[in-house]
Amino acid sequence: MNSGNIFKINAIPKGDKEIFETLASGKHVKIERITSYGQVTPADKWYEPDKEEWVILLQGKASVELPGGKVFHLGAGDYLHIPAGTKHRVSYTSKEPHCIWLAAHFI
């Protein structure tokens, strides 16, 4: 068993790497907190996950882009379901305030 506060961040990420923290996991699901501070996916890279992904942005502003130019602009409280196999990239994350995401990856 573990507990904590989703908004208490121990370190703000620097450089091009976000901070990924697994909060809970099981046979078919992983829940993680992601902290971003201006990081984006490189322009030539696309994520194409083999599992379903559901994310909610708890703090900050961010944009998630799909091939073809469709962009989802997210603010605090906005969520997005990304079906397995869907190519996407993070094209913007705010620094002030930094972004706190909650992500669930599942079958």
Domain architecture of the chain: domains with CATH:
19-106 (2.60.120.10)
CA dist., res. 87 & res. 3, Å (int)? 33
Assess whether pLDDT exceeds 90 at residue 7.
yes
What is the pLDDT averaged over residues 16-39? 96
Q: What percentage of the chain exceeds 70 in pLDDT?
A: 100
CB 14 within 8 A of CB 37: yes
Instruction: Tell me the three state secondary structure of residue 51.
Output: coil
Q: Return mean pLDDT, the chain.
A: 96
Q: Which pLDDT score, from 0 to 100, does residue 10 have?
A: 87
What is the pLDDT averaged over residues 39-55? 96
Q: Beta partners for 64?
A: 72, 90
CB 87 within 8 A of CB 38: no
CB 58 within 8 A of CB 88: no
What is the pLDDT averaged over residues 50-76? 97
